[in-house]
């Protein structure tokens, strides 16, 4: 094969791949099931900035709930697939996306035991997602939930289903529970830093947007993780009109145990009261309609030196852009005198 033929073949393959990706992105999700659930279940979506501690919070919360006698299902909806790693001592669960692809290729059905695993009363699974540059993460979320429905999601008898979502990705797939009323309420995990509260504010904006369109999902509250006592997250919650469900301190013992994949929210442990209180608040908090902040109002929660609020916007000129003197060119626009 000549070089030109190889190039043409590669170009056709790339065009076919792009067309397949566009076709995948254009697919609409299946309609939401309207069948009555077998059991009244609280479905709660947890959002937050990547790395803020959602997985740590959810692993300990779900473990505490299970030890209190509740039936809990934890579903990781982050393409990193790390939601359940703390729960299972660092071990990675086979994801629904990769398992579904493998089983489909082999002509075999996906069984619940292929994707759902247990530890001390907690049921857990990971949706997963595509590799970087090889598909739409949001579409992966949609496909994962479609498969869960086929596996009987609406007939499962859980007290709580906790969904772990990446909050700083605005793709529609990650907003699925809010947009399609797939959960009753949202919990946001944040900290005393601008970026995590920016994400929390975006989630509140999404909830408010879909409430205006007739949606029913509300924000139950904020969990402050790595709380250093500076108070910005507390001020944010008060400003948008949501409660603080728990403030988990920035503590070396918690950090070390979490890094070693150790559950700290165990009954009888030093941190048990913290997670017992969080479990009670999560169960009882009603879904509220938040009042998202403007960017300036969000910045106003922080000291000016912490966020550069005193920086002025200095407009650029053509001379700046060219790096030399700019010659103003005459316009070719025809200007008519007023009649």
130 neighbors 101 (Cβ within 8 angstroms): no
Q: Is 168 noted as a catalytic residue in this protein? A: yes
Q: Is residue 319 helix, strand or coil?
A: helix
Tokens linked to 317:
């000129």
Q: Is 80 noted as a catalytic residue in this protein? A: yes
> Which residues have C-beta within 8 Å of that of residue 60, sequence separation ≥ 6?
86, 263, 264, 265, 271, 275
264 neighbors 257 (Cβ within 8 angstroms): yes
Rounded to the nearest 5 degrees, what angle is found at the Cα of 180, between the Cα atoms of 178 and 181?
65
Choosing from 70, 80, 114, 262, the catalytic residue is 80
Q: Is 54 noted as a catalytic residue in this protein? A: yes
Tokens linked to 292:
């998202």
DSSP 108: -
Choosing from 54, 185, 226, 257, the catalytic residue is 54
Choosing from 82, 168, 181, 262, the catalytic residue is 168
Q: Is 257 noted as a catalytic residue in this protein? A: no
Choosing from 49, 185, 226, 257, the catalytic residue is 49
Long-range contacts (CB closer than 8 Å, 24 or more residues apart) made by 99-102:
100/143, 100/147
Strands 185-190 and 72-76: unpaired
* Element spanning 255, H or E: helix 252-259
Name beta bridge partners: 166. Answer: 48
Tokens linked to 271:
């941190």
77 neighbors 171 (Cβ within 8 angstroms): no
Residues with a catalytic annotation lie at 49, 54, 80, 168
């Amino acid at each position: 094969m000549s070089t030109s033929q190889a190039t043409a073949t590669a170009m056709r393959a790339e065009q076919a791949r792009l067309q397949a990706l566009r076709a995948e992105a254009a697919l609409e999700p299946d309609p939401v099931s309207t069948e009555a659930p077998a059991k009244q279940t609280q479905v709660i979506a947890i959002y937050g900035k990547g790395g803020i501690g959602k997985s740590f919070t959810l692993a300990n919360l779900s473990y505490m709930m299970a030890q209190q006698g509740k039936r809990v299902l934890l579903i990781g909806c982050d393409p990193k697939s790390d939601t359940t790693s703390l729960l299972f001592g660092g071990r990675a669960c086979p994801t629904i996306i990769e398992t579904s692809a493998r089983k489909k290729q082999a002509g075999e059905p996906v069984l619940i035991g292929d994707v759902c695993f247990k530890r001390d009363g907690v049921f857990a699974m990971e949706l997963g997602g595509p590799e970087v540059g090889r598909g739409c993460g949001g579409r992966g979320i949609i496909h994962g939930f479609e498969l869960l429905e086929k596996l009987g999601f609406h007939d499962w008898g859980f007290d709580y289903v906790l969904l772990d979502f990446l909050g700083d990705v605005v793709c529609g797939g990650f907003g699925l529970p809010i947009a399609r009323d797939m959960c009753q309420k949202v919990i946001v995990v944040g900290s005393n830093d601008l970026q995590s509260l920016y994400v929390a504010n975006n989630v509140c904006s999404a909830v408010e947007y879909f409430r205006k369109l007739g949606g029913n999902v509300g924000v139950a509250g904020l969990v402050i993780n790595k709380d250093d006592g500076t108070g910005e997250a507390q001020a944010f919650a008060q400003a948008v009109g949501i409660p603080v469900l728990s403030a988990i301190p920035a503590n070396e013992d918690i950090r070390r145990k979490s890094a070693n994949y150790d559950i700290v929210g165990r009954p009888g442990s030093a941190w048990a009261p913290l997670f017992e209180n969080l479990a009670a608040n999560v169960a009882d908090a009603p879904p509220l309609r938040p009042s998202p902040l403007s960017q300036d109002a969000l910045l106003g929660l922080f000291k000016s030196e912490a966020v550069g609020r005193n920086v002025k916007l200095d407009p650029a000129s053509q001379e700046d852009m060219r790096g030399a003197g700019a010659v103003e060119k005459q316009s070719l626009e025809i200007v008519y005198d007023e009649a």
